[in-house]
Amino acid sequence: MTNPRFFGRIFKLPPFAQPTQQVLEALRELGRPGGIMDAKDPLHEGPIRLITNPELSPTNVDNPFNTAGTTFFGQFVDHDFTFDLNSRLGVPTEPETSPNTRVPTLSLDSVYGGGPNANPELYDPGDRVKFKVESGGLFEDLPRRTDRVAIISDPRNDENMMISGIHVAFLLAHNRAVDLVRSQGVPPTRVFDEAKRLITWHYQWIVVNEFLPQIIGFPMAAEIMRHGRKFYRPAAGQHFMPVEFQGAVYRFGHSMVRPSYRANLAGDNGNPFFGFIFDPAGQGQPDPVDLRGRARAPRRFIGWQTFFNFNDNQVRPNKRIDTKISTTLFNLPIQAIATGDPPTALPQRNLLRHVTWSLPSGQAIARAMGIPVLGPDVFPELKALNVGFDANTPLWYYVLKEAQVLNDGISLAGIGARIAGEVFIGLLQLDPTSYLSAQPTWRPTLPRRTSDTFSIVDLLTFAQVDPASRRQ
């Protein structure tokens, strides 16, 4: 029996390898700085040229079908339904006894916490059903303590400027929804719940109708919606966060991260603010040179036209889903690691997590699903590790390679697409409060650009953090 408060497994299969010292060393070698997975971006060229001159990173290719913000919306979603504070990297742990600190639903508990009574520190003391929002100097910022630590339900939502920007946009969207439902005559005792439902359902709509098709492709999303889930099928009330998803498949987003971004167009004394997502030089600076979170300065806000398509020719792409990871992610600041422990190379952390959860190989899952298996000939670069990873490939690496060879890195493919799609749709279908479960024919009601759908651009516009509202 599975339990929503703990992790669990979809597939009862043996692990991809035994947790020997040789295997642990091979995982570290595979994910090390300068190793097989490092895109070897020429960081010395600086953050601007790595955007304007993509030929400088020939192995780290742009994805013309996903915008730069897709990555960070995906990170925001991840923090909404999974938070593992207990397992240790590289130490085998039973998922079924490992607590998931987040509720495995798309209910925005990473934003709302337990509500105004349980978490009053998140809410405006002058209007208890609205969130606290502060100014960063020019535009909105998360509320912060004097040491700049954000006062939010999930500290991970201040890891970088982009995710903190999404979080504060949701705070503002909720506050506007409060005004809206009050204007409609909703009784005072119902205002908070109704505003929360309104924002949560529009968020869920974005996940199902915009984000999911982007990451798994429209055909797979439509297939699961139409014909149902084949593998992720917990009983009602027993929906859980699968480690195949949390520990491997959903980490595909790390491959989409760019080394650097244009945070905004005119925030840096009238000039664009460019920065690496993480730069060791930013450590300890009150206004870091990079785009890390946990800092406040007038230029530290997001101009969303770089990240999502406002039809003004300013949007930029993210990177393709493949086995090459941006070099900046091989040296994370320790504050960006929730548990505060090494290693600081994100690929090493992801790979060691396969041992933590005793994850099956990608090949074993493909066989269990009855879909074509990628053979050793697809993984010649893994043969030199001498531990059999070319035939029993760590699931995360397998999923990245699947996307690369089957979908040209545009979206997930094969087992990756199927697992991601079934978990997202399943968690919504198994949550009695979601729109898919409670009212499947519901359609968005907030203002939107086109009548037939509602997008992240519409939500940012409703929150009034869009370029027109900012006038820049």
The H or E element spanning position 150 is none
With a cut of 90, say whether residue 2 has pLDDT above it: no
| Three-class DSSP category at 128 | strand
The predicted-structure confidence for 208-227, as pLDDT tens digits, reads as follows 999 999 999 999 999 999 99
Measured CA to CA in angstroms, residue 369 lies from 110, 221, 299, 424 at distances of 33, 17, 49, 18
Q: How far apart are CA 316 and CA 63, in angstroms?
A: 9
The predicted-structure confidence for 149-193, as pLDDT tens digits, reads as follows 999 999 999 999 999 999 999 999 999 999 999 999 999 999 999
What is the reported pTM?
0.96
The predicted-structure confidence for 410-421, as pLDDT tens digits, reads as follows 999 999 999 999
With a cut of 90, say whether residue 403 has pLDDT above it: yes
Residue 337 binned pLDDT confidence (cut-offs 50, 70, 90) = low
CATH number among 3.10.129.10, 3.30.300.10, 1.10.640.10, 3.10.310.40, domain 7-470: 1.10.640.10
pLDDT at 336 (0 to 100):
64
Alpha-carbon 281 to chain mean position: 25
pLDDT at 198 (0 to 100):
99
SS (H, E, C) 291-341: CECCCCCCCCCCCHHHCCCCCCCCCCEEECCCCCECHHHHCCCHHHCCCCC
| Three-class DSSP category at 38 | strand
Q: How far apart are CA 240 and CA 430, in angstroms?
A: 10
With a cut of 80, say whether residue 444 has pLDDT above it: yes
Residue 339 binned pLDDT confidence (cut-offs 50, 70, 90) = low
Query: What are the residue boundaries of the structural domains of the chain, listed by start?
Result: 7-470
What sign results for the dihedral spanned by CA atoms 114, 115, 116, 117? Answer: negative
The answer to whether the CB of 421 falls within 8 A of the CB of 270 is no
Q: How far apart are CA 355 and CA 432, in angstroms?
A: 34
Q: At 135, give phi and psi (nearest 5°).
A: -100, 140
If you average pLDDT over residues 63-86, what whole number do you get?
Answer: 93
Neighbours of 70 (CB within 10 A): 22
Q: How far apart are CA 385 and CA 265, in angstroms?
A: 45
The answer to whether the CB of 389 falls within 8 A of the CB of 30 is yes
Residue 88 binned pLDDT confidence (cut-offs 50, 70, 90) = confident
With a cut of 70, say whether residue 395 has pLDDT above it: yes
Q: Which long-range contacts (CB under 8 A, 24 or more apart) does 46-50 make?
A: 46/260, 47/259, 47/260, 47/261, 47/274, 47/275, 47/276, 48/260, 48/274, 50/258, 50/259, 50/260
